[in-house]
Amino acid sequence: MTVAEEVTEKETKGEVKETTEEEIKITRQIDVGEILSNLFPEINHIRKGGTANDITVRGFGRDNINVLLDGMRIYGACPNRMDPAIFHMSTRQVKEIQILEGPFDVENQGSLAGVVNLISRDPEAGAGGSVYFTGGFFNYIHGGFEAYGGNDRVKVLTGYSKQFSHPYKSGEGKRITEYPQGTAAYKLSELDHTAFNIDNVWVKTVITPDEENTIKINYGFDEAKDVLYPYLLMDAVYDRTHRINGEYEIKPLGVKVSAYWNFVKHDMQDRWRKSSSGWSRGYMMRTLAKTKTYGAKVVKSWKIEDINLKTGIDAYLRNWKADNTLMNLDNRGMIPDVDIKNVGIFVKGSKKIDRFIVSAGFRVDRTKSEADRNALGTANSTLYSAYYGTNYSLSKTDTYPSGNMVVRYKLDKRSSVYIGFGHTVRVPDPQERYTALAKPMTKPNWVGNPNLKPTKNNEVDAGFEYYRGLFGIKGNIFYSDLTDYVYLYKLTTGPKPAQSYQNIDAHIYGGDITVIGMLTDTVSVEAGAAYQRGKKDSGNYTDSDLAEIPPLKTRLAIKYDNGTVFGQIEGIYASRQGDVDSDLQEQPTKSYYVVNVKTGFNAGNRAFIGVGIDNLFDKNYYTHLSYLRNPFSTGTKVPEPGRFVYMNVNYRF
């Protein structure tokens, strides 16, 4: 795709954001989710521990946004999202990250409110590579190497990275392992336990037999061991992931065929917590979970007169199984071997009319969700009937359309305004429909809702971008009307209260603005702000506020770069969030302001040395998404890291 075509593609969408490996390179490179949260005010991270931070975009999270790796679907195995999709590509593999906000994606099923696509680097011709190392406070290290080789026909890139850290300390000088209390507290012997120990291996091959055909094959393996999650009641003993994806592009025909497969196995236990004391097996509770996803897509690009068209068909299967042990309860089938099978077709097109660019997309999906009743253990086998009687089924097929339309008006070559409308649908995930977890009589059960309907989003977006000389400003506003939004609640119709899910009607609205500019030949400025608010419109509630909606957040960065030496001062501010859901015992969060500084030196294209200090003034603070909400417990609030000094070294050969 040429540069001109890329620009046209962006102009046919709503709000699009991007970040590159150069911006990632100067961070401490622990976690992609945290990096995006620092760069974009409308993206926020969910802090569970030292790494593996999940993200929200405009207040939408979990399966309400699609997170893809090179266009591949991947799902974590943990029922509490210890291993979100964004965790399964290391920072060293990323070339760029594309973020499409709003309901304007018809190429992927279920993009209810946005898409985040992590794109890996391709190998280069010739021979070479790099070695790199990042070290910082709390015994944090991240090191590894990459090597590439080949010619114009065949090129191969291989790499390995290692990440390791002990628990970080907050601004008040306490390790994050000191925050959980009661039986969830860590044993005294484990307060300085490894916070994470992660190995990543990857190989990417690009075959170009001629100028008209390109084949890409990408394999990755990740193993995360000893990952602590003070936010939750258990920690990950290990999380192992295999992923492979391939792509074949026939340029003269405008055809691209892709396929993928991935497998995640996850073991979480409370063996390092006080709750495991007295159990000879080493734990009181454990969940062993597995998920696999495989799929394929065929896309054809067309041009009929002056209309650009793209048509496609895709299909995938997602399987998820989780077995739980809790005290002496047989909780096999916590996620009872659920299959989600989807087939969809789509068409999208765009046309220029004078200064207008009109684009539209349409998609139809058929999705079957089915749980295996035989996978349920003794304790879980009667949960659905206990709460829903006989009025439920463990198999459901949903057929639904989605689509969008965007009209953009070009003010000049670089500046424009747009308005768009999108309708998207997201089928409930296996956990929301089919979770089954029986607990002792004094504890609430956790049960899915097999009768859940798909969530539908009708959203209007409007925005602008304006450039004059070396300065630019862009912004957008949105209003999302949600029908049958899947929402956590306290189910009281059964033998005892249970954590479950219901369909409600709701709306989320907000916007963001970004200013960029060059003050001199070497000094630039970036400023941004984002705000969103969520409200319930129906359902069983006494508080109309939606949970897990981040408050106003702003970012201001001043940069210096003369090509050899660079420096950056960055300030991030988040306001107090008092609009919380008291039905889920959500708590207000105080405002915070932190300052981060970075500087570095480039020795040509060979060597790079950088030093950074995050949270320069050692503030003790929490993001609003720093603890688990449910109707029964406020969870453990996990603070952000205190002052974090680190160094990056990279050498290319």
The string of pLDDT tens digits covering residues 472-493 is: 999 999 999 999 999 999 998 8
> 287: exposed, middle or buried (C-beta count within 10 Å: 0-12, 13-18, 19+)?
buried
Residues forming beta bridges with residue 66, ordered by sequence position: 115
Instruction: Tell me whether strands 140-150 and 213-227 are parallel, antiparallel or unpaired.
Output: unpaired
pLDDT digits (tens, 9 = 90+) for 159-202: 999 999 999 999 999 999 999 999 999 999 999 999 999 999 99
Contacts of residue 320, Cβ cutoff 8 Å, sequence gap at least 6: 75, 77, 289, 290, 291, 335, 337, 338, 430, 431
Q: How far is CA 479 from CA 181, 461, 512, 534, in A?
A: 40, 7, 12, 10
Q: Which residue type, as a one-letter code, is found at position 231?
A: Y
Nearest to 398 by CA among 314, 341, 458: 341
Candidate CATH numbers 2.40.170.20, 2.30.130.30, 3.30.2080.10, 2.40.33.20; the one for domain 3-652:
2.40.170.20
Contacts of residue 371, Cβ cutoff 8 Å, sequence gap at least 6: 336, 337, 338, 394, 395, 430, 433, 434, 450
pLDDT of 634 reads 62
pLDDT of 605 reads 83
pLDDT of 630 reads 78
- State how far the Cα of 44 lies from the Cα of 572, in Å rounded to an integer: 12
- State how far the Cα of 115 lies from the Cα of 66, in Å rounded to an integer: 5
- Any alpha helices (H) in 246-357, and if so which ranges? none
Residue whose pair of structure tokens reads 């090509």 in the numeric block: 563
442-464 average pLDDT score: 95
- State how far the Cα of 318 lies from the Cα of 312, in Å rounded to an integer: 20
pLDDT of 9 reads 67
For residues 338 and 79, is the Cβ–Cβ distance under 8 A?
no
**Above pLDDT 70, what percent of the chain?**
98
pLDDT digits (tens, 9 = 90+) for 243-293: 999 999 999 999 999 999 999 999 999 999 999 999 999 999 999 999 999
Average pLDDT along the chain: 94
pLDDT of 51 reads 96
Indicate whether 6 pLDDT > 50.
no
Nearest to 442 by CA among 586, 563, 326, 352: 326
Nearest to 23 by CA among 76, 99, 75: 99
Give the confidence band of 229 by pLDDT, cuts at 50, 70, 90: very high
Give the confidence band of 604 by pLDDT, cuts at 50, 70, 90: confident
Domain boundaries, the chain: 3-652
pTM across the whole model: 0.94
pLDDT digits (tens, 9 = 90+) for 55-106: 999 999 999 999 999 999 999 999 999 999 999 999 999 999 999 999 999 9
Burial 413-430 (b: 16+ CB within 10 A, else e): eebbebbbbbbbbbbbbb
For residues 10 and 16, is the Cβ–Cβ distance under 8 A?
yes
Structure tokens at 387: 């709460």
pLDDT digits (tens, 9 = 90+) for 106-139: 999 999 999 999 999 999 999 999 999 999 999 9
What phi and psi values does residue 113 have, to the nearest 5 degrees? -140, 10
Residue whose pair of structure tokens reads 């057929």 in the numeric block: 399
pLDDT of 212 reads 95
pLDDT of 378 reads 86
- State how far the Cα of 87 lies from the Cα of 123, in Å rounded to an integer: 22
pLDDT of 8 reads 53
Q: In 184-326, which ranges are E strands?
A: 196-210, 213-227, 235-250, 255-269, 285-304, 307-326
Give the confidence band of 635 by pLDDT, cuts at 50, 70, 90: confident
Structure tokens at 162: 């290692």
